[in-house]
């Protein structure tokens, strides 16, 4: 977890629609209601077909423009709903009315309404107000005394319903807080409600779903996750310079030390104790002419954070809004939500962060000829990052004998130098002998590249070696692994406290000539094929695609799954993949960034070998997504490489996938 930029959808949502679902907290309300009679009031607004509207900005434009909100940003194209009946009623978890209408009133010509809560009726997530029209309705949860009814309130309620939330168990202040985060979002309304809801889903659906995933859950057992942790992150990044034909393909890697402690209730008190990082950007007008910049950093300052743990193993951490000045450039980092998913019954978490930033020029406000403030009128470019990070609890008193048995290994590497960007993946089995040595099994893999004269592909095969030394400290820190010319090779990795998971995060460079970054994940393998039938897995996918030629006509993409994406396996041979994916792409290294989203719902072909080696294949008329890797001993965690193979062609997209069992 590293606040190098802002969470992309959170960027949108941190400037999204307070008008929905209550419009902010009310000092006159409380969580439980009371015996005294109270009123609720608000305004009803809806899209008007007669209102002309401009073409809506793209997802990325909205995300970035949200960083400089206008003084009174709001949804435009919404009109007051006058003379409409407002009904107060209860709903079940599917949103269907329960019982009779509890009270009703009529909106004024300006869309305003006021309604008295009946005696004994308190604020609650399953208490709503609604207005109905021909074939449609708009609703808002009555979780505050200020309740506006509009497309956003309807959208948030639908998200709670879609995620299977127990509405009457919601803490009303949590719903109000969510509404407050979905605030002042510049969006032009569509012609009708369905169009408006579709726009909201495109722009803020991911953010709301991440929040709902936490709000709907019961508190988790904090004591079960306390301890010292190490984390390792691998990040891909794309930057542009506004319409200036100059851009960047970037990598970032950090290795951090944390302590998780019981902060009371469902709160995890988190201390970031130190961090090592490396960063490179390959920048220029094209791959053919780009150049490498590389730097490293060690940060020993500590930082205190707070997270909320749910009983489903989500550890949610919120980062604050920040601005940073770095020489002639300044950056804005709006508040971020990080949802870490725990592997069942382990001190092991994974995070797939979706971040972005806007870059500005600076200004001198005190006349000392040194830049000291961000200049919002000098917008210079966009920066988007995706990072896959693992947090593993550290052992104590570890010895060589604790690390034994066969482990499935997956690996991703990036490489860049003038004229070349490459991606590489590998899969193999590594066997630890319990005596400080390991056998490195034969590996297979894939390499895709983008060069001056075109894209490249190569299938890889590597012959294994036996009896390689590994030096692991008592706290699970991997000091060296393997040899080179008879000398131990320094390594940056760690083993978890149950000795069944290993991660490496490493980087090399040659001055400013070339740079490479790699990420390794390893799980201890079962002795017989695990039974995955009936299991549901949260899908975390991070990949990149390289196509075309490196002279400026190439296509560079980053692809990631959104938080509520799942693989469900009906047997050891079949399953389904259902989720949403974000694609950030640019034409040429110097091209401007754009963002698309895609929804997938398709059947998977599955093969699970006796040692847990698994292949998941999603195929259609355009080609195949192939995920190749391993499940651990109880199939609670799977690690995979992924590649996209176009029909009749070679792979052009490579990445990593993590599957975490979230079966209820």
Among 6-10, 453-457, 504-508, the minimum mean pLDDT is found in: 6-10
pLDDT in tens, 389-433: 999 999 999 999 999 999 999 999 999 999 999 999 999 999 999
CA–CA gap between residue 79 and residue 198 (Å, rounded): 18
Query: 68 pLDDT exceeds 60?
Result: no
- How many other C-beta atoms are found inside a 10 Å radius of the C-beta of residue 510? 11
Q: What is the mean pLDDT of residues 4-24?
A: 32
| Distances from the Cα of 164 to the Cα of 159, 212, 217, 229, 403, angstroms | 9, 10, 10, 32, 41
**Residue listed under structure tokens 């010319």:** 485
Instruction: Report how far residue 296's alpha carbon sits from residue 509's, in angstroms, rounded to the nearest whole number.
Output: 11
Q: Given phi > 0 = left and psi -120 to 50 = alpha, else beta, which region is 264?
A: left
Share of the chain above pLDDT 70, in %: 86
CB 509 within 8 A of CB 280: yes
Half-sphere exposure of 455 (CA within 13 A, CB side): 19
Predicted confidence at residue 1, as pLDDT, reads: 59
**12 confidence band (pLDDT: 50, 70, 90):** very low
**Helix (H) or strand (E) run with residue 174 in it:** helix 172-181
Task: Pinpoint the residues of the chain covered by CATH 2.60.40.1120.
Answer: 6-215
- CB atoms inside a 10 Å sphere around CB 230: 22
Q: What is the DSSP letter of 146?
A: B
What confidence score (pLDDT) does residue 466 get?
97
Could you count the other beta carbons within 10 Å of the beta carbon of residue 522?
25
Task: Place 76 in a pLDDT band, splitting at 50, 70 and 90.
Answer: low
DSSP letter at 320?
A: P
User: Model confidence over 41-60: pLDDT tens digits?
Assistant: 999 988 863 222 233 334 34
Q: How confident is the model at residue 171 (pLDDT cuts 50, 70, 90)?
A: confident
Q: What is the mean pLDDT of residues 3-20?
A: 33
pLDDT of 11 reads 34
How many Cβ atoms from other residues are within 10 Å of residue 273's Cβ? 15
One CATH from 2.40.110.10, 2.60.40.1120, 3.90.1170.50, 2.60.40.10 for 6-215: 2.60.40.1120
CA 553-558-564 angle, to 5 degrees, is 150
Return d(Cα 473, Cα 524) in angstroms, integer. 19
Predicted confidence (pLDDT) per residue in 216-242, tens digit: 888 999 999 999 999 999 999 999 998
Could you tell me the two tokens for 316?
Answer: 């949610």
pLDDT over threshold 50, residue 574: yes
Comparing 563 with 188, which gets the higher pLDDT?
Answer: 563
Q: How far apart are CA 543 and CA 205, in angstroms?
A: 22
Q: Which residue has the tokens 């910049």?
A: 293
Show the 3-state SS of 209-268: HHHHHHHCCCECCHHHHCEEEEEEEEEEEEEECCCCCCEEEEEEEEEEEEEEEECCCCEE
609 pLDDT tier (thresholds 50, 70, 90): very high
Judge whether 604 and 574 are in contact, CB under 8 Å: yes
Cα separation of 594 and 582, whole Å? Answer: 11
Calculate the alpha carbon distances from 11 to 215, 384, 566, 597, 608 in Å.
20, 11, 24, 16, 40
Element (DSSP H or E) covering residue 65 = helix 59-65
Q: Give pLDDT, residue 204.
A: 66
Determine the pLDDT at residue 258: 97
Two tokens at 38?
């109270």
DSSP letter assigned to residue 14: T
């Amino acid at each position: 977890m590293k606040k190098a930029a802002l969470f992309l959808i959170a960027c949108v949502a941190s400037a999204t629609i307070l008008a929905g679902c209550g419009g902010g907290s009310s000092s006159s309300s409380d969580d439980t209601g009371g015996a005294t009679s109270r009123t609720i009031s608000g305004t009803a607004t809806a899209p008007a077909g007669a209102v002309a509207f401009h073409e809506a900005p793209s997802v990325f434009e909205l995300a970035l423009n949200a960083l400089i909100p206008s003084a009174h940003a709001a949804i435009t194209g919404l009109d007051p709903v006058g003379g409409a009946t407002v009904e107060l009623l209860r709903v079940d978890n599917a949103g269907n009315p329960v019982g009779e209408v509890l009270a009703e009133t009529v909106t004024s010509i300006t869309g305003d309404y006021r309604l008295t809560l009946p005696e004994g009726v308190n604020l609650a997530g399953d208490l709503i107000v609604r207005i109905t029209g021909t074939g449609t309705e708009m609703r808002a949860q009555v979780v505050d005394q200020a309740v506006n009814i509009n497309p956003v309130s309807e959208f948030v309620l639908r998200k709670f319903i879609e995620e299977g939330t127990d509405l009457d168990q919601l803490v009303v202040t949590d719903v109000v807080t969510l509404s407050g985060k979905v605030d002042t979002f510049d969006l032009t309304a569509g012609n009708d409600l369905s169009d408006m809801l579709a726009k909201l889903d495109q722009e803020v659906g991911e953010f709301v779903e991440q929040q709902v995933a936490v709000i709907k859950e019961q508190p988790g057992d904090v004591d079960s996750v306390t301890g010292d942790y190490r984390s390792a992150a691998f990040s891909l990044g794309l930057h542009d310079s506004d319409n200036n034909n100059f851009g960047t393909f970037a990598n970032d890697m950090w290795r951090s030390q944390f302590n998780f402690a019981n902060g009371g209730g469902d709160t995890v008190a988190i201390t970031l104790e130190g961090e090592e990082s490396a960063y490179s950007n390959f920048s220029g007008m094209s791959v053919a002419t780009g150049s490498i910049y590389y730097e490293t950093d060690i940060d020993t300052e500590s930082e205190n954070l707070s997270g909320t743990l749910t009983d489903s193993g989500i550890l949610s951490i919120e980062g604050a809004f920040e601005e940073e000045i770095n020489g002639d450039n300044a950056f804005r980092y709006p508040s971020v939500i990080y949802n870490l998913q725990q592997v069942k019954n382990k001190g092991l978490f994974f995070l797939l962060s979706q971040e972005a930033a806007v870059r500005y020029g600076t200004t001198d406000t005190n006349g000392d000829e040194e830049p000291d403030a961000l200049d919002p009128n000098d917008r210079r470019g966009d920066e988007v990052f995706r990072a896959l990070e693992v947090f593993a609890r550290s052992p104590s008193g570890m010895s060589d004998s604790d690390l034994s048995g066969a482990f499935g290994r997956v690996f991703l590497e990036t490489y860049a130098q003038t004229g070349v960007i490459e991606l590489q993946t590998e899969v193999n089995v590594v066997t630890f002998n319990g005596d400080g040595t390991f056998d490195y099994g034969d590996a297979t893999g894939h390499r895709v590249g983008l060069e001056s004269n075109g894209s490249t592909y190569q299938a890889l095969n590597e012959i294994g070696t036996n009896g390689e030394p590994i030096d692991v400290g008592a706290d699970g820190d991997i000091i060296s692994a393997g040899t080179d010319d008879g000398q131990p090779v320094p390594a940056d990795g760690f083993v978890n406290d149950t000795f069944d998971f290993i991660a490496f995060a490493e980087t090399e460079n040659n001055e400013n000539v070339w740079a490479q970054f790699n990420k390794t994940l390893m799980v201890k393998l079962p002795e017989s094929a695990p039974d995955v039938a009936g299991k549901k897995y949260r899908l975390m996918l991070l990949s990149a695609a390289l196509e075309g030629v490196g002279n400026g006509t190439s296509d560079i993409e980053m692809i990631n799954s959104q938080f509520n994406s799942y693989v469900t396996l009906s047997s050891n041979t079949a399953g389904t993949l259902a989720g949403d994916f974000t694609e950030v792409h640019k034409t040429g290294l110097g091209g401007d960034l754009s963002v698309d989203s895609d929804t997938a719902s398709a059947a998977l072909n599955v093969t699970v070998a006796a040692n847990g080696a698994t292949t998941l294949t999603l195929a259609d008329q355009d080609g195949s997504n192939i995920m190749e890797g391993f499940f651990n001993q109880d199939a609670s965690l799977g690690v995979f490489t992924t590649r996209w193979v176009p029909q009749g062609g070679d792979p052009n997209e490579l990445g990593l996938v993590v599957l975490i069992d979230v079966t209820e």
